[in-house]
Structures are given as structure tokens and as C-alpha cells.
Homo-oligomer: A and B are copies of this chain.
Amino acid sequence: MGTGTSTGKQQRRGNTRQRIQDVALELFAEQGYEKTSLREISERLEVTKAALYYHFKTKEDILVSLFENLTTPIDELIAWAKEQPRSLETKQEVLRRYNVIFTKATPLFRFMHENQATIRDLSIGESFKQRVIGMVNVLRDPDSPLTAQVRCFSALTTIHGGAIALRDAEGDLEEKQGATLEVAMELVTRAHEES
């Protein structure tokens, strides 16, 4: 009783760092970064505030560590894309994978979206912005017109929006995902044809 493989409370030891990240994301997402205090996090974990500081240098550091789940896959995707031929198929595959990344990291991304003012001057702002620019550069062709560029950007934000807004909207989730991806695909296809 109380043991077993459940994710119960007793499984302390060795995984505190992970647990901090989990709880932090949960609370950051729920209440925002500023409004979540380290006291709150530590209380939820039944540790002292000081313990957090053993694992992370600052509050911001906790946040940054969270974002590695998002930035690392994007970096990998961009790297992968650069090695592929710049065909329409590649672009579509990039979009598909991009969508998967965001689908998986929805809570984190939603948090980011809802806390931009905070994120902006927290180093993650710039960090993420760079990734989006990187993505646009991978999707658009070198000398394509401005509208093509806007379309690529719009395709990306459509996926972003899908990851966030569609949660609330009514209807079947998979279906909505499909719709989102479809719209994004169209935009990139159009952009591709323009160049």
C-alpha cells in the first residue's frame, strides 16, 4: 500500500530537478510566470525554496530549461530541412513536423503565447524569434516576393494558433488539427508557386 509503480508522492530522490520542471510548467501555464512564486512551486513539491536554488540558478533559469523541449526539436528540424532539396514536398513535411512539435509542446507554447510581455525580456523571447525566422527562411525561396514571405509566416502562425486556439473551439480535435494543417499547407503551397 502506497508503493507500486504509481506516480505517487513517495518517489522522491534523484528526480527532483524533473519534478521542479513539471510543477513549474504547470503553475506557469496556469497563472503566468510573474504570478507564480517560487514559494508556490516549492510548497507544491514539499521542498524548501532553497532546494530550488540547488537545482536552478534563478527563477528564469527554470523557465529556460523548460523551453529546451521546444527549441531543441525546432533546431533539429531546421537543420534537417537545410539538408533536403528545397522542394514543395520538403516544405510540406517540414510543416507537418513543425505541427507535431507544437502539438506535443502545447502547454509550454500556450504559456509562451500568453506571457509574451514577460517572455520578451527574458532572453527566451529573442531565442524563439530566431527560430521562427529560421523556419521562414527554410520555407520561403530566396528571391520570393513579400507576399510569399508573409504567407510562410502566416502558415507558421496558423500552426501556432492551431496549437492554442483550437483547444477551446468546439469540434473533434483531430479534425481541427487536420484543418489547421491544411490551411498552413495551402499557404506554403501558394508561396512556393509564387517564387
On A, residues with C-beta under 8 Å from B are 31-35, 111, 113-118, 120-121, 146-147, 150-151, 153-154, 157-158, 161, 165, 169-171, 175-176, 179-180, 182-183, 187
Contact = CB atoms under 8 A, between A and B. Distances in A.
Q: What number of copies of this chain does the assembly contain?
A: 4
Main secondary structure of the interface of A (DSSP, over half): helix
Closest 9 CB pairs of A and B: A32-B117, A114-B116, A114-B117, A34-B34, A150-B179, A115-B117, A147-B179, A157-B161, A146-B179
A58 to B, nearest CB: 15
A110 to B, nearest CB: 9
Given A147-B182, A157-B157, 8 more contacts: A32-B117, A34-B35, A115-B117, A117-B118, A146-B170, A150-B169, A150-B176, A153-B161
Contact of A114 (B31, B120, B175): B120
A117 B183 contact: no
Contacts of A32: 34, 117-118, 120
Contacts of A176: 146, 150
A47 to B, nearest CB: 16
Contacts of A157: 157-158, 161, 165
A34 B36 CA distance: 12
Contacts of A180: 150
Nearest to A182: B147
A155 to B, nearest CB: 10
15 contacts: A32-B34, A32-B118, A32-B120, A111-B117, A113-B116, A117-B118, A146-B175, A147-B179, A150-B180, A150-B183, A153-B169, A154-B154, A157-B161, A157-B165, A183-B187
